[in-house]
């Protein structure tokens, strides 16, 4: 507490923002006074558990067990993680801290994505592995604000830049004030941007966040999305992390780079100089587990209705359960042959992922593969879209949820409480979509049917 007080004094902090990520990956939080924060840092604070009982639109779920009308939506006990403190650069008198939720008996709240990741990461360490992960995101920027989005019914939006111009030196320079604000703001907030460039598509950018130990990496990835949205809003524009915004354009990825190291962080255990392509047996089994469990875990990787619109042939997103060496048509891409570079890129994940869930689940699947010595199929050496013998990935959220609901391995790896709650939230999401009348239906049927 003395160290924390000194840090707050040194930084000139006047107020604190605390928050946590819900199942959809949305930050839920509030400002509190310094006095309240210091009390919370010592003994925790109450935080309404409705954040695990509603959806993206704050519509109350009708099928949850962890909270609901049957429990009265009480306060859950939340504790401050003091290691996550950082000053908000665009609110320099304000510090941000992350929260973890607890049950009344002090055990982790199973529905919490951050605590799922902590549990899986702890298991990796108990097996002798230090997971190091790094996320990269693609996202659209539109010359719109929350009100204009609604005034336009989310149609006919104006992108920040026109045309298809990937890796454009020109486009980033033309938008230098915003681009530099994003890079500098993320770095000042402790997120560590390694690369930033335009992607192919109007107003599309990609950012790579420097890898770190998995707990820190997941925090950085989850915070990145809200940081980008906040900075963009200050420049009068809107950032969008949907998996697929336009049917005619590629979707937005949220690829996660992964490797396992010894507990001292000195040796990359995915590398074996004597093995073909430098791939250790550990890496092969890690991939084997991820490939074997990929279909039944897809709902956790692709959590929205829109996620599945990204999975289209010849659009840089996977459609099949495949892996390959430096192959961007597969769901898993192995990169590098040296001890420093050897890693895999989990390409199934999209920009709409919940970073805590995506990282935790892919790690859990890899660890399962190691423990069971699962050998992967042969790597795909050509176009995975044309690989007819590769199992297809689920084509919609309803089918993916059904696979997850029937997966005993998911419950064993992630915990019954988390999987049960997640499945219930996705079944709700499917029901909301099935009741909706879309623009596509109106345009196709209204006049002619």
Give the closest residue to 181 by CA, choosing from 141, 222, 130: 141
CATH 3.10.20.70 occupies which residues in the chain? Answer: 1-107
State pTM to two decimals.
0.97
Other Cβ atoms within 10 Å of 345 Cβ, number: 20
CATH 3.30.590.10 occupies which residues in the chain? Answer: 121-414
Predicted confidence at residue 337, as pLDDT, reads 86
Asked if residues 430 and 308 have their Cβ atoms less than 8 Å apart, the reply is no
Pick the CATH number of 1-107 from 3.10.20.70, 1.10.3720.10, 3.30.830.10, 1.10.30.50: 3.10.20.70
Give the closest residue to 23 by CA, choosing from 339, 344, 420: 420
Asked if residues 347 and 331 have their Cβ atoms less than 8 Å apart, the reply is yes
Query: Could you tell me which CATH class the domain 121-414 is placed in?
Result: alpha beta
Asked if residues 141 and 160 have their Cβ atoms less than 8 Å apart, the reply is yes
Q: Is 150 left (phi over 0), alpha (psi -120 to 50) or beta?
A: alpha
Average pLDDT per 10 consecutive residues for the chain, totaling 449 residues: 96 97 97 97 96 96 96 96 97 97 92 97 98 98 97 96 94 96 98 97 97 98 98 98 96 98 97 96 98 98 98 94 97 94 97 98 98 97 92 97 98 98 98 96 95
């Amino acid at each position: 507490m003395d160290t924390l007080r000194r840090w707050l004094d040194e930084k000139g902090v006047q107020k604190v923002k605390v928050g946590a990520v819900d199942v959809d990956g949305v930050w839920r939080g509030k400002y509190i006074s310094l006095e309240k924060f210091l009390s919370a840092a010592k003994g925790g604070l109450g935080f309404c558990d409705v954040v695990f009982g509603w959806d993206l639109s704050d519509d109350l779920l009708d099928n949850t067990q962890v909270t609901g009308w049957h429990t009265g939506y009480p306060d859950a006990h939340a504790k401050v993680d003091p290691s996550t403190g950082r000053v908000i650069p665009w609110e320099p008198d304000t510090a941000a801290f992350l929260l973890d939720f607890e049950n009344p008996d002090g055990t982790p709240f199973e529905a919490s994505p951050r605590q799922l990741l902590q549990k899986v990461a702890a298991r990796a360490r108990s097996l002798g592995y230090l997971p190091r992960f790094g996320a990269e995101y693609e996202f659209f920027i539109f010359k719109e604000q929350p009100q204009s989005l609604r005034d336009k019914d989310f149609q006919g939006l104006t992108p920040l830049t026109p045309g298809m111009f990937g890796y454009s030196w020109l486009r980033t320079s033309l938008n230098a004030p915003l681009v530099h604000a994003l890079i500098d703001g993320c770095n000042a907030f402790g997120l560590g941007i390694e690369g930033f460039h335009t992607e192919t598509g109007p107003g599309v950018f990609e950012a790579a966040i420097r890898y770190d130990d998995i707990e820190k990496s997941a925090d950085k990835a989850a915070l990145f999305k809200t940081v980008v949205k906040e900075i963009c809003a200050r420049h009068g524009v809107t950032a969008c992390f949907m998996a697929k915004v336009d049917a005619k354009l590629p979707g937005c990825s949220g690829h996660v780079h992964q490797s396992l190291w010894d507990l001292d962080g000195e040796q990359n255990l995915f590398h074996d100089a004597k093995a073909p392509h430098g791939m250790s047996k550990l890496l092969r089994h890690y991939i084997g587990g991820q490939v074997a469990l990929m279909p039944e875990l897809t709902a956790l990787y692709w959590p929205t209705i829109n996620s599945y619109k990204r999975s289209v042939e010849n659009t840089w997103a996977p459609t099949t359960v495949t892996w390959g060496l430096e192959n961007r048509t597969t769901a898993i891409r192995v990169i590098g042959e040296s001890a420093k570079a050897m890693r895999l890129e989990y390409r199934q994940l999209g920009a709409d992922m919940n970073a805590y869930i995506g990282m935790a689940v892919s790690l859990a699947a890899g660890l399962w593969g190691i423990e069971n010595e699962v050998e992967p199929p042969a790597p795909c050496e050509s176009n995975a879209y044309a690989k007819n013998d590769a199992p297809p990935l689920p084509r919609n959220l309803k089918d993916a949820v059904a696979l997850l609901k029937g997966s005993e391995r998911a419950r064993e790896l992630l915990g019954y409480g988390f999987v049960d709650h997640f499945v219930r939230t996705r079944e709700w999401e499917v029901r909301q979509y099935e009741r909706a009348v879309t623009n596509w239906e109106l345009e196709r049927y209204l006049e002619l049917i």
